[in-house]
Every structure is written in C-alpha cells, then in structure tokens.
C-alpha cells in the first residue's frame, strides 16, 4: 500500500501544470514527474509531427519507463493527457483550465507555438477536451476541475490540493491501523 498519493496535474499546454507541480512539490513533499522530461531523457518518442512541430510519444515505452517509480507513490504527474495512465496508479486527477481564451492564446503565442498547434490547443481548451478525457478515463469522483487563469488561483489551487494530500495520507494511516 502506498503511503503517498499519485496525482495527475493535466490540462492543455499553457494552463500552468508545471507551475502547480513545482509549488505542490514544495508544499507537500511529493515529487514532480514531468512526462516531457521523462520522454526526452528516456527516448520515449514514436515519431515527429511536422505539422504540429512536436514529438509523438510512444505511450507503452513511457509507461514502462515510469512504472516502478509511480507504483511507489508520491508523484505529481505533469502531462497534457491523462487517459494513458492505468486507473490503479492514480488517486487524484486535477484538470487545470484557462477559460479566458485571450489570456490562454497569449500564453501559447508567447511560447512561440506554431499557428496550427496554437489553434488546436485553444480549441481543445474551449471545448474542454481534456476534462472530458479525464472523466472518461477515471472515476468522476477523483477528477477535479480548477481554473488557472490568475496568479492567486495557482496559490488557492495548491492549498486545496495540499489539503487533499494530507487528508489522503490520514485516511491511509487510519486504514492501515484497521
């Protein structure tokens, strides 16, 4: 039995996943697991998409690369998709949203996103694609949607998630005693 939870922090690129994970790692002691970094470091790519200007992940290779770590628990999994992770690995799925499309568009443009990729991500955010994927892949009671548009929302989101982590740990300890 894990003594620390695994949490996916997901959402469209540009919603603040990495900022949330870095803050939560400091606040909770959980470890930030950047799937982008793992994919690069462990060569988990299938191909390169010229139109979008991005790499396509080999999901099986990626899952094999992180399985031993994640099964131990205590990870904040930072990735723009969540439906590839087995349900048994995950205790909470946080879907970050940025409903102000002008703010969101400016964030992606500031990153130098290719127009096709930028528009695809804006559309995904408008239509809540990643939230729907999360609800389809996991039990709805572990899927939480949080806005990540303003700086103060990052702070309040991290406080809320840190409180959840403490509650999860307390429940695990109580169940271990039974």
Binding site residue list:
14, 16-19, 111, 150
Binding residues for ATP: 14, 16-19, 111, 150
Among 58, 103, 93, smallest CA distance to 164 is for 93
Q: Mention every residue, 6+ apart, whose C-beta is less than 8 A from residue 43.
A: 61
Query: How many Å apart are CA 163 and CA 169, to the nearest integer?
Result: 10
What DSSP character marks residue 113? -
Beta strand 7-10 with 92-97: parallel, antiparallel or unpaired? parallel
DSSP assignment string, 126-151? HTTHHHHHHHHHS-GGGEEEEE-SSH
d(CA 105, CA 65): 33
Residue with tokens 């999860």, as numbered in its chain: 168
């Amino acid at each position: 039995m894990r003594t620390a939870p695994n949490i996916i922090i997901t959402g469209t690129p540009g919603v603040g996943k990495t900022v949330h994970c870095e803050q939560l790692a400091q606040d909770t002691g959980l470890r930030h697991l950047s799937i982008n970094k793992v994919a690069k470091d462990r060569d988990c790519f299938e191909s390169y998409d010229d139109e979008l200007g991005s790499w396509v992940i080999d999901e099986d290779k990626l899952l094999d690369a992180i399985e031993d770590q994640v099964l131990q628990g205590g990870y904040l999994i930072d990735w723009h998709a969540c439906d590839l992770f087995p349900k048994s690995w995950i205790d909470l799925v946080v879907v970050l949203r940025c409903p102000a499309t002008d703010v969101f568009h400016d964030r992606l443009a500031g990153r130098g996103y290719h127009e096709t990729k930028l528009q695809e991500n804006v559309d995904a955010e408008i239509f809540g694609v990643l939230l729907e994927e999360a609800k389809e892949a996991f039990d709805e009671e572990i899927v939480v949607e949080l806005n990540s548009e303003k700086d103060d929302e990052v702070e309040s989101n991290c406080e809320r998630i840190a409180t959840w982590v403490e509650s999860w740990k307390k429940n695990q300890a109580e169940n271990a005693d039974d």
